Structure 1
Amino acid sequence: MVSEGNAIRSSCAVVEAEQGARASTSPVRRAGNTFFKLLYRYTHSRAWRHNERLAHGVALERDEAGRLAGMSIRGHRLACVNAQMPLAPDLHDAGQECHLIATGPSVNLIDYRALQMPRVLGVNGAIALTERQGVRFDYYCIVDTGFVRSRTDLVERVVREPLTLFATPLVLWHIAERIGLERIRCRVFLVDDMLFPAGHRATRMDELRATYDARALALFDAPQPLGFSLDLRHGVFDGRTVAYTGLQVLASLGFKRLYLHGVDLVAAKSTPRFYEEASNMQPSYLDENFCEFIEPSFRHASALLGRRGVDVRNLSMESALGEDIFPKLCWQTLVQGAACACKAARACAPDSSLDSSLDSSLDSSLEAMPGFAAASTLAPARAPTSTLA
């Protein structure tokens, strides 16, 4: 393996030292971080600038194919699963479905205790649903260092969970500085940036086209450098929203039915995320990036995934992404489908141990849900006993 000192995108200064449940800042460490960042900035061209934060004290390992394989920070090795985690597994039918939960305010309209989700990937602050509605995540994606800096409390919840975290080396550096590597309990998969690879200069689209074939990525015909990764081990295109990164993660993992939650993308600058209040909301740049980066990225990805047999549905009815990109679906429809499945199972096994006293419980919960109109053909069904597999 090749070991190299490097980083992925720059950002504001940060530092560590532990105090209570969170690492706090040491003035000496902060001064050192800033010094080495500025030294790198003024001794390297702009094409290398994305490495400035982690150029000191960080070593990345790459395999024979040049893909990220491991990471050490200040001499402490971070356990990574890049080599062990299979991509595009042979999923059985039930395992082909995954829910991607973003953080738009429409998430607050969903009753997750009534919604069965075989697999779940969360991004950024979606972890707040664990405490609010008992949601358990199998996968998680964080590529925004601003989120790590501003909501370290939520990030600490993520790294304590038994999930797989997909994150860039720069994000992991910020986590190490604020929380500490010893507090990370989740599995970690290192994610590279196709356009700004760690430890290398920025990559041009023509270079990507010459290096990778259609099995690894798709490059879109657009004014901006847009694309979609089909092999997570090589990296991702950020699309200016972490939800787009999450979509590439799930496509690489081989899921064929995807449901998007909270991908609202409407007036994000003035609208709090589902876990925020107006008084404490963090800045958002989704509005500025929507027309040039976000919308065309999802539009091209929709056509690509459709050709590959991946069905994506958008559960945000007010999403800025049109129906022509991803068809919209009321989340209650998924609960109704589960009820019909229960009815079919009961018909096949009329003498089974299904508790008939629970038959009306799901109907009652549906009637209480906002915006749900019970269908006359929906027979009583047994309520789900678990929100997650």
Structure 2
Amino acid sequence: MSTLTKQIYRYTHPRSMRHNENLWPYVKIQRDKFGSISKLNYKNNEIPLQNLSILKDSFDGSVLLTATGPSIKKIDFSTIPNITAIGVNGAWHLNEHVDFGIYIIVDMLFIDSRIDLIKKIVSKEDLILFTTMHGVVKLIDKLALINIKCKLAIIEDKCFQVYKPKVSSNAIHSTFKSQTKIIFSQEKQNIAFNYDIRNGVFDAGTVVYWSLQILAYLGFNIIYIAGLDMNNFSSPRFYESPDDMLPSFLDDKLHDTIIPAFQLARHALDNKNVGVINLSLDSAIPSNIFPKMDYRDAFN
């Protein structure tokens, strides 16, 4: 966006709409009756989107969610049964061993820094990529729409939706308490979980929390999570080297946000009879939230 266009936007829109300034006026959207973005026009081009309503409860059984903690290196993925696999961020480095059917990227820094890897991800035709509107725009700008072969599914941060005012953290409960598909943490009511991702997903500092809301919506019954270490934040992710590390901001959020959010997720998933198994035995996420199990025992 040009500096002039950004200035015009700031003069003509309230501060609560500032998160949209890099989208306007090039992004035009339509929402369906459920609140999801059903039509997208970007720079006068119609962008094909995956219909989120079609995806609702379209899966069942087990799913492998691959995060990117160093413990991934301890798993022999060739021994894991052929179940639906979902990757986040740099988990694509496992693609020779894991056939990803779904992918989730909501970190814009990751797109900016790993565009060569992103290009490989979006070239997979039978892949559904969940990303934000800003993610879609970045992908098109960096790679061109013709090179994006996967299906694009737009998900939004519930508090920063496209062309809607920002919802501050201390207003989350009061703003959304009437929406029946949303539940809140009893200890921290600014932490919430949405069963219906069509009208937004709640953030808790980690893409895995987004993923759990998405997987509950898709209809899976058992979620196996690999690489959910949440410790040793100064160590490289399983695919990084010490000289090629992206920064991690999880350490500051672990106890105040991430663990309480996963506690809420456990409750939310219990309500839907969805089990979660953490394959990272040394994970900082307590076993009373997600039980830990060695992958060899989990898939025996």
TM-score, reference length from structure 2: 0.93
State how far apart, in whole Å, the 1-side matches of 2:50 and 2:190 are.
Answer: 29
Match of 2:13 among 35, 41, 44: 44
Q: Which deviations, in whole Å up to 9, do the C-alpha atoms of 1:14-36 show, x marking residues without a partner?
A: xxxxxxxxxxxxxxxxxx44443
State how far apart, in whole Å, the 2-side matches of 1:34 and 1:267 are.
Answer: 40
Match in the other structure for 1:122: 87
Equivalent residues of 1:82, 1:190 under 8 A apart:
no
Residues 227-376 of structure 1 aligned to structure 2 (within 5 Å): 227-268=192-233, 270-335=234-299, 337=300
Q: Which deviations, in whole Å up to 9, do the C-alpha atoms of 1:171-197 show, x marking residues without a partner?
A: 111111111111111111111221111
Residues 148-167 of structure 1 aligned to structure 2 (within 5 Å): 148-161=111-124, 162-167=126-131
State how far apart, in whole Å, the 1-side matches of 2:248 and 2:283 are.
Answer: 16
Equivalent residues of 1:100, 1:247 under 8 A apart:
no
Match of 1:57 among 26, 33, 39: 26
- Deviation for aligned residue 1:70: 2.2
State how far apart, in whole Å, the 1-side matches of 2:3 and 2:91 are.
Answer: 31
Match in the other structure for 1:78: 47
Residues 143-182 of structure 1 aligned to structure 2 (within 5 Å): 143-161=106-124, 162-182=126-146
Give the SS at the match of 1:193: coil
| Larger displacement relative to structure 2 (38-47 or 290-299) | 38-47
State how far apart, in whole Å, the 1-side matches of 2:149 and 2:245 are.
Answer: 28
State how far apart, in whole Å, the 2-side matches of 1:334 and 1:325 are.
Answer: 17
* Equivalent position amino acid for 1:310 in 2: V
Give the SS at the match of 2:269: helix
CA RMSD of aligned residues (A): 1.7
Distance 1:152 1:109, change over 3 A: same
State how far apart, in whole Å, the 2-side matches of 1:119 and 1:54 are.
Answer: 34
Give the SS at the match of 2:30: strand
State how far apart, in whole Å, the 2-side matches of 1:42 and 1:316 are.
Answer: 49
- Deviation for aligned residue 1:99: 0.8
Identity of aligned residues (%): 34
* Equivalent position amino acid for 1:148 in 2: I
Matched, 1:136 2:136: no
State how far apart, in whole Å, the 1-side matches of 2:227 and 2:8 are.
Answer: 41
Equivalent residues of 2:184, 2:264 under 8 A apart:
no
* Equivalent position amino acid for 1:80 in 2: L
TM-score, reference length from structure 1: 0.72
Give the SS at the match of 1:139: strand
Structure 1 runs of 4+ aligned residues shifted over 6 Å read none
Match in the other structure for 1:69: 38
State how far apart, in whole Å, the 2-side matches of 1:229 and 1:170 are.
Answer: 21
Equivalent residues of 1:240, 1:294 under 8 A apart:
yes
Distance 1:287 1:193, change over 3 A: same
Equivalent residues of 1:106, 1:274 under 8 A apart:
yes
Q: Which deviations, in whole Å up to 9, do the C-alpha atoms of 1:158-215 show, x marking residues without a partner?
A: 11112111111011111111111111111111112211111100133212113x11xx
Equivalent residues of 1:193, 1:237 under 8 A apart:
yes
Equivalent residues of 1:273, 1:281 under 8 A apart:
yes
Equivalent residues of 1:137, 1:163 under 8 A apart:
yes
- Deviation for aligned residue 1:264: 0.9
- Deviation for aligned residue 1:290: 1.2
State how far apart, in whole Å, the 1-side matches of 2:11 and 2:232 are.
Answer: 37
Instruction: Return 5+ residue gaps in structure 2 as ranges.
Output: none
State how far apart, in whole Å, the 2-side matches of 1:35 and 1:255 are.
Answer: 47
**Larger gyration radius, structure 1 or structure 2:** 1
State how far apart, in whole Å, the 2-side matches of 1:126 and 1:83 are.
Answer: 23
State how far apart, in whole Å, the 1-side matches of 2:266 and 2:217 are.
Answer: 15
State how far apart, in whole Å, the 1-side matches of 2:267 and 2:53 are.
Answer: 31
* Equivalent position amino acid for 2:39 in 1: G
Instruction: Return 5+ residue gaps in structure 1 as ranges.
Output: 1-31, 338-389
Residues 177-256 of structure 1 aligned to structure 2 (within 5 Å): 177-203=141-167, 204-205=171-172, 206-210=174-178, 212-213=179-180, 216-223=181-188, 225-256=190-221
Give the SS at the match of 1:189: strand
- Deviation for aligned residue 1:38: 4.5
- Deviation for aligned residue 1:83: 5.2
